[in-house]
Amino acid sequence: MTQELPWPVALPAGARSRLEAILAPLPEHRRTTFALRVARRLDELVAGLAPYPDPPALAARALELAARAYLEREDDLHLLDERRSLEPDWFQRPDLVGYAGYAERLTPEGTLSALGGLADHLRDLGVGYLHLMPLLQPRPAPNDGGYAVADYRAIRSDLGTMADLRRLTTELRWRGISLCLDLVLNHVAAEHEWARAARAGDERYRRYFHVYPDREVPDAYERTLPEVFPDFAPGNFTFDEELDGWVWTTFNSYQWDLAWDNPDVFAEVAEVILFLANHGVEILRLDAIAFIWKRMGTSCQNEPEVHQLTQALRSLARIATPALIFKAEAIVGPNEVVHYLGQGRHHGKVSDLAYHNSLMVQIWSMLASADARLATHALGRFPVVPTSTAWITYLRCHDDIGWAIDDDDARSVMADGHGHRTFLSDYYSGDFEGSWSDGLVFQHNPATGDKRISGAAASLAGLEQALARQQEAVGQEAIEEAQVAVDHAVARLLLGYAIVYGFGGLPVIWSGDEIATLNDADWAAVPEHADDNRWVHRPRLDPARLAAAHADPESPEGRVLAGLRHLATARAALPHLHASVGATVVAAPDPAVFVVLRRHPVGPMVGLYNLTAEGRSVPGWWLREQGLPVEASIDALNGYPPSLQPDGSLYLSTYQPVWLVRP
């Protein structure tokens, strides 16, 4: 007996019958599931579409896209949808580690089909989440490392095909690895068919972009707009001869910002999302999401509509392809970034993951200054995020490091924001006297004094300089000193990663860091990369170095590889690190020790990180106050009781991390 489908009352009869016609080929249980999901999410969808003139009508149109995607979704993915609905916290669990890199740089073959061969290495590191950098068809170089997409439905021809992507996601899933891809939704390449149609004079497509006949409106916007690439792409608008107008280009002149106030743009992107989800992609990284909505007189970042539209897209995905989750790439201040994980009416309805840029910046700041006070203050005032979400914690990624140190935070710890940012730039570019770092200055902005930094984690942590010293060392003393420098650099890199793994969230390894890969000396040899020194830290994963790391556990790469494997194993065994519990940073009596407290129902976990090359101690009474009597605790990083001083205080050796828990 066929029953009526459980559509929500709010869905008009016309919309229902159109959806039923689309779903007709499906068995009844599938149609029922779809209708139930619509009933569950319709309100969220319509509310999210509030920025558009007729939200219910657009919702009905979007639901048809969802129904078509649902119809095409293959059985293994329907099964995945079921499984994820039973374990919605899969990305929050402490046994999950992430990994990110360029598909063409991870294997010698450089293709999608070769990536299955990397699974053993990834599993060895505990990786269950793989973020492959942009791999959809970009414009010919330069294309901002693939972030200028010319076709969202094709894979870069040198990497493979859409069928290869589908096979890859299946193969990885068999190995316990979920695939994350970028969704570049703020802009398309100037060569994308929409942009080409706009240039050819098609009015419909001209409205996909922000185009102005003269400088009047652009100049008015420019008054409050920052510049993302002041060096190689100054300004936010580009004149296009064929358009005979100025087109909005926040990033490079060949990346045209989409006009998200046009409902057609919403529908197009929604279709792309469902299409990628149906290829088995499980996480979409919403690239530069902060920029999608423009408002005169503002920086055109973090506008409320951004969250509404994310909610609308998310609810559509939850209806058609619910295994798909979202990760926000919003490199913005603490008070703004928390909205991407859902605050107020968007709680639990937008992205599930977001980059913890501040933590990354503060780790590098602490390593350079050997002082936890600024980090403790800045991270301590982070608003609470929903328990169903997780931070992406990381030490390095493909981008530069911008010194996002807030002036007020700096003042609160008696420091000067500008002064500290300058110190960090100078420190990491190696210009500061006594610095161990080998970074490069990226996008120096003389107007603001900003100097961002490029560089591989190992080189920023001092390994490159230390190894050079080792090469040049003559005489016993110099050799010993160089060895100490190498040891310290390795320890700093592992300390940084220990914070990343011990903070709580989803820690992501930037490819190459696991074998302490140094700056790529040949980064500028590729002509299209030569003016973008971010390529210095986007090296190929070197199989010889990986083999050496396995063969020689005493080498720097061997120690780092073993260290990261160890962190993953220790982490997996600690329920305290489930992302549903928030991290609290606390000030230890010694400012050279960074402390992260995790108050989990199973008991507290105190992460202690010695930021210096000298031994440090933390008083026993103070640890007892945090809920952990030191005599009755173990260091989960080695399974033993921690080292105690005669006075009962806990001892931390050079750059030592300790994860204190009750046994």
Which is catalytic among the residues 81, 164, 303, 329?
Answer: 329
- Using the minimum distance from each CB to ligand GLC, give the nearer residue, 188 or 368: 188
Torsion angle defined by CA atoms of residues 131, 350, 28 and 39, in that order, rounded to the nearest 10 degrees: 180
One residue of 288, 332, 395, 509 binding ligand GLC per CB under 6 A: 288
Kindly state the smallest distance separating residue 329's Cβ from ligand GLC, in Å: 6
**Cα 80 from Cα 322, distance rounded (Å):** 9
- Write out the H or E segment, with its range, that includes residue 213: none
Name which of 323, 322, 340, 321 is nearest 331 in CA terms.
340
- For position 257 contacting ligand GLC by CB under 6 A, the verdict is no
Cis before 601? omega within 30: no
**Buried b / exposed e along 555-578 (16+ C-beta atoms within 10 A):** bbbbbbbbbbeebbebbeebbbbb
Q: Give the amino acid at 653.
A: S
One residue of 287, 303, 352, 409 binding ligand GLC per CB under 6 A: 287
Instruction: Return the structure tokens found at 176.
Output: 């316990």
Kindly state the smallest distance separating residue 357's Cβ from ligand GLC, in Å: 10
Whether the Cβ atoms of residue 571 and residue 502 lie closer than 8 Å to each other: yes
Kindly state the smallest distance separating residue 633's Cβ from ligand GLC, in Å: 40
- Using the minimum distance from each CB to ligand GLC, give the nearer residue, 41 or 534: 534
**Cα 125 from Cα 231, distance rounded (Å):** 38
Which is catalytic among the residues 287, 426, 438, 590?
Answer: 287
- Using the minimum distance from each CB to ligand GLC, give the nearer residue, 164 or 287: 287
Name which of 138, 259, 148 is nearest 203 in CA terms.
259
- Using the minimum distance from each CB to ligand GLC, give the nearer residue, 42 or 184: 184
Kindly state the smallest distance separating residue 148's Cβ from ligand GLC, in Å: 8
- Using the minimum distance from each CB to ligand GLC, give the nearer residue, 34 or 403: 403
**Cα 30 from Cα 575, distance rounded (Å):** 36
Cis before 322? omega within 30: no
Max Cα distance, the chain (Å): 90
Closest residue to ligand GLC in the complex (CB): 147
One residue of 164, 282, 399, 513 binding ligand GLC per CB under 6 A: 399
Site string for ligand GLC, 197-236 (x = CB under 6 A): ----------------------------------------
Stretch that binds ligand GLC, among 141-149, 580-588, 594-602, 618-626 (CB under 6 A): 141-149
One residue of 81, 104, 144, 409 binding ligand GLC per CB under 6 A: 144
Instruction: Return the structure tokens found at 547.
Output: 């083999």
Q: How far apart are the first and last CA of the chain?
A: 58
Phi first, then psi, for residue 577 (nearest 5°) are -95, 5
**Cα 118 from Cα 602, distance rounded (Å):** 36
Name which of 144, 146, 168 is nearest 157 in CA terms.
146
- Using the minimum distance from each CB to ligand GLC, give the nearer residue, 102 or 251: 251
- For position 268 contacting ligand GLC by CB under 6 A, the verdict is no
**Cα 290 from Cα 440, distance rounded (Å):** 26
- For position 400 contacting ligand GLC by CB under 6 A, the verdict is no
Torsion angle defined by CA atoms of residues 113, 115, 117 and 123, in that order, rounded to the nearest 10 degrees: -140
Kindly state the smallest distance separating residue 92's Cβ from ligand GLC, in Å: 23
Whether the Cβ atoms of residue 606 and residue 626 lie closer than 8 Å to each other: yes
The question of whether 329 is a catalytic residue gets the answer: yes
Torsion sign across C-alpha atoms 129, 183, 274, 279: negative
Stretch that binds ligand GLC, among 144-152, 166-174, 358-366, 406-414 (CB under 6 A): 144-152
One residue of 152, 194, 205, 251 binding ligand GLC per CB under 6 A: 251
**Cα 265 from Cα 305, distance rounded (Å):** 14
- For position 184 contacting ligand GLC by CB under 6 A, the verdict is yes
Site string for ligand GLC, 327-366 (x = CB under 6 A): --x-------------------------------------
Whether the Cβ atoms of residue 316 and residue 352 lie closer than 8 Å to each other: no
- Using the minimum distance from each CB to ligand GLC, give the nearer residue, 251 or 326: 251
Site string for ligand GLC, 145-164 (x = CB under 6 A): x-x-----------------
Stretch that binds ligand GLC, among 143-151, 411-419, 438-446, 564-572 (CB under 6 A): 143-151
User: Per CB under 6 A, which of residues 312..331 are in contact with ligand GLC?
Assistant: 329
The question of whether 282 is a catalytic residue gets the answer: no
Whether the Cβ atoms of residue 435 and residue 488 lie closer than 8 Å to each other: no
- For position 510 contacting ligand GLC by CB under 6 A, the verdict is no
Q: Which residues have a catalytic role annotated?
A: 287, 329
Residue ranges in contact with ligand GLC by CB under 6 A: 144-145, 147, 184, 251, 287-288, 329, 398-399
